[in-house]
């Protein structure tokens, strides 16, 4: 006699879709500043047996219009959290002005375990902090060590590459330039312990670059993703773009494999994965949010059995003037002709600015938030349809921002930010592991 449970097990292999298996929601802090929110950022890294969270808090005893930048180190084995503020040269907690969406931190740990944070720049000179000891949450101001001291910066996205060096993309505006803000690309070498500028990879007169994400393929190539607005700035952007950098030859290629010279612009062939749609335009969108428009994107790569890189861009797109922000994906196989394919995956209630995407060769996941609600995950395994699942442990927590990192075992670790779920000036940061990949 087959029991019901056994029958369900026998049937399971025919259901290619994996079940989402969220773990326990871990509170990293319930003292986050309400301006601890961004979409372009990288506020979570995992290295050396630790999760590393960067977030803002209201300065204890200080003004709620200011913040301290915090680094929380959480032991993956026992959950112990050790945290500290980033420090000025005199050893005090650095204090910065609140500026949601701009003055938020990105964090990466280099291959030797030193912790790096870029933060609190809105068209400002470097604000860069680094730990003096490996695996320490205590970071000191190292801004003066950066190149390009007179350039002003916004939106730092930093990640560790395969060999332990760090890569940073950031919007920069050279002193005296009043016609464009470019995409600046830097590398930190663990052997020299120095940052150097690799290039200004994207620059177009009349436009500004908005960095989104960096990913790495196993050959050491660095894959860049970003978007564009009219100069000087806009709440909404256009023409999500992708480029692959090969450090060993110092060359840049578009998705077709064509080598291009720098700087690239929107008119570089095959650079843009979401072209302008009917009625979409750059003009007139400064400090306004009309659609059609593009806003925030994240990148996931996987390599097939012959090492070909497959690119997935998850992004938000508003396709009408007053419509809600949708969740879309553009996919491509590196080296193909006419490579980009686009799909609308979620078009429902309004979504909030941040999303995350991970891909393990079989299953792709896109994490997003519904306004006034919390975090969800869209998932697709091989050729099945998309599922759309509320992340149950985050329900009721009013998560509005997130960041996703996929571990080697295919489990995703999420940074979930709920900027005001304590009160109007205070929110929370949570960690949620999401397993269950097929």
Ligand X SMILES: *[C@@H]1O[C@H](CO)[C@@H](O)[C@H](O)[C@H]1NC(C)=O
Residues that bind ligand X (CB under 6 A): 319-320, 344, 347, 422-426
Residue with tokens 């079989």: 362
Instruction: Name which of 62 and 335 has its Cβ closer to ligand X.
Output: 62
User: Minimum distance from CB of 325 to ligand X (Å)?
Assistant: 11
Instruction: Name which of 260 and 324 has its Cβ closer to ligand X.
Output: 324
Instruction: Name which of 269 and 279 has its Cβ closer to ligand X.
Output: 279
User: Minimum distance from CB of 289 to ligand X (Å)?
Assistant: 16
User: Minimum distance from CB of 422 to ligand X (Å)?
Assistant: 5
Give CA torsion, residues 242, 245, 250, 251, to 10 deg.
-50
User: Minimum distance from CB of 136 to ligand X (Å)?
Assistant: 27
Which residues 6+ apart lie within 8 Å of 228 measured at CB?
Answer: 202, 204, 207, 208, 209, 210, 237, 238, 239, 241, 266, 282
Q: Which of 99, 32, 113, 76 is nearest to 418 (CA)?
A: 32
User: Minimum distance from CB of 346 to ligand X (Å)?
Assistant: 9
Residues in the chain, total? 438
Rg from Cα positions in the chain: 21
Angle, vertex CA 29, rays to CA 404 and CA 142, nearest 5: 75
Instruction: Name which of 174 and 347 has its Cβ closer to ligand X.
Output: 347
Give CA torsion, residues 319, 321, 323, 324, to 10 deg.
80
User: Minimum distance from CB of 423 to ligand X (Å)?
Assistant: 4
Omega before residue 314 within 30° of 0, cis:
no
Instruction: Name which of 301 and 422 has its Cβ closer to ligand X.
Output: 422
For residue 47, count CB atoms less than 10 angstroms from its CB and return exposed for 0-12, middle for 13-18, buried for 19 or more: middle
User: Minimum distance from CB of 68 to ligand X (Å)?
Assistant: 14
User: Minimum distance from CB of 58 to ligand X (Å)?
Assistant: 7
User: Minimum distance from CB of 341 to ligand X (Å)?
Assistant: 16
Instruction: Name which of 235 and 347 has its Cβ closer to ligand X.
Output: 347
Q: Which two tokens stand for residue 151?
A: 């350039």
The backbone torsions φ and ψ at residue 4, rounded to the nearest 5 degrees and listed phi first, read -60, -40
Instruction: Name which of 319 and 331 has its Cβ closer to ligand X.
Output: 319
d(CA 430, CA 23): 12
User: Can you say how many angstroms the Cα of residue 269 is from the centroid of all Cα atoms in its chain?
Assistant: 25
User: Minimum distance from CB of 424 to ligand X (Å)?
Assistant: 6
The answer to whether 41 and 105 are in contact (CB under 8 A) is yes
Residue nearest to ligand X according to CB distances in the complex: 347
Q: Cα–Cα distances in Å, from 354 out to 40, 45, 130, 262, 374? A: 7, 17, 26, 29, 12
The DSSP secondary-structure symbol of 221 reads: -
Q: Cα–Cα distances in Å, from 300 out to 74, 213, 359, 382? A: 25, 9, 6, 15
User: Minimum distance from CB of 348 to ligand X (Å)?
Assistant: 8
Instruction: Name which of 34 and 296 has its Cβ closer to ligand X.
Output: 34
Instruction: Name which of 287 and 424 has its Cβ closer to ligand X.
Output: 424
Instruction: Name which of 258 and 349 has its Cβ closer to ligand X.
Output: 349
For residue 174, count CB atoms less than 10 angstroms from its CB and return exposed for 0-12, middle for 13-18, buried for 19 or more: middle
Instruction: Name which of 204 and 319 has its Cβ closer to ligand X.
Output: 319
């Amino acid at each position: 006699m087959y029991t019901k449970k056994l029958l369900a097990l026998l049937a399971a292999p025919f259901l290619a879709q994996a079940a989402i298996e969220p773990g326990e929601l871990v509170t990293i802090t319930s003292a986050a500043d309400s301006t601890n929110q961004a979409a372009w950022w990288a506020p979570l890294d995992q290295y050396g047996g630790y999760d590393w969270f960067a977030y803002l808090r209201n300065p204890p005893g200080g003004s709620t219009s200011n913040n301290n930048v915090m680094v929380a180190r959480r032991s993956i084995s026992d959950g112990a959290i050790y945290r500290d503020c980033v420090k000025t040269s005199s050893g005090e907690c650095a204090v910065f002005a609140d500026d949601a969406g701009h003055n938020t931190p990105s964090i990466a740990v280099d291959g030797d375990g030193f912790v790096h944070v870029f933060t609190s720049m809105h068209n400002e000179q470097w604000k860069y902090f680094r730990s003096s000891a490996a695996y320490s949450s205590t970071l000191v101001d190292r801004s003066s060590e950066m190149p390009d001291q007179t350039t002003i910066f916004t939106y730092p996205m930093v990640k560790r590459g395969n060999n332990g060096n760090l890569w940073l993309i950031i919007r920069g505006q050279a002193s005296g330039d009043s016609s464009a803000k470019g995409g600046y690309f830097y590398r930190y070498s663990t052997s020299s312990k120095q940052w150097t500028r690799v290039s200004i990879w994207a620059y177009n007169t009349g436009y500004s670059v908005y960095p989104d994400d960096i990913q790495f393929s196993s050959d050491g190539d660095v894959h860049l993703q970003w978007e564009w607005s009219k100069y000087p700035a806009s709440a909404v952007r256009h023409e999500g773009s992708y480029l692959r950098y090969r450090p060993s030859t110092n060359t840049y290629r578009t998705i077709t494999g064509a080598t291009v010279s720098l700087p690239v612009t929107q008119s570089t062939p095959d650079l843009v994965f979401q072209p302008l749609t009917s009625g979409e335009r750059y003009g007139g969108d400064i400090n306004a949010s009309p659609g059609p428009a593009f806003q925030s994107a994240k990148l996931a790569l996987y390599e097939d059995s012959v090492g070909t890189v497959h690119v997935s861009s998850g992004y938000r797109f508003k396709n009408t003037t007053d419509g809600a922000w949708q969740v879309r994906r553009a996919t491509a196989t590196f080296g193909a002709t006419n490579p980009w394919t686009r799909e609308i995956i979620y078009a429902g209630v309004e979504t909030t600015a941040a999303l995350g995407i991970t891909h393990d060769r079989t299953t792709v996941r896109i994490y997003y938030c519904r306004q006034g609600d919390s975090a969800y995950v869209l998932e697709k395994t091989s050729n099945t349809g998309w599922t759309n699942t509320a992340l149950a442990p985050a329900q009721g927590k009013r998560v509005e921002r997130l960041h996703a990192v996929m571990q080697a075992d295919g489990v995703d670790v999420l940074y979930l930010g709920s900027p005001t779920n304590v009160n109007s000036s205070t929110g929370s940061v949570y960690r949620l592991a999401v397993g269950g990949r097929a």
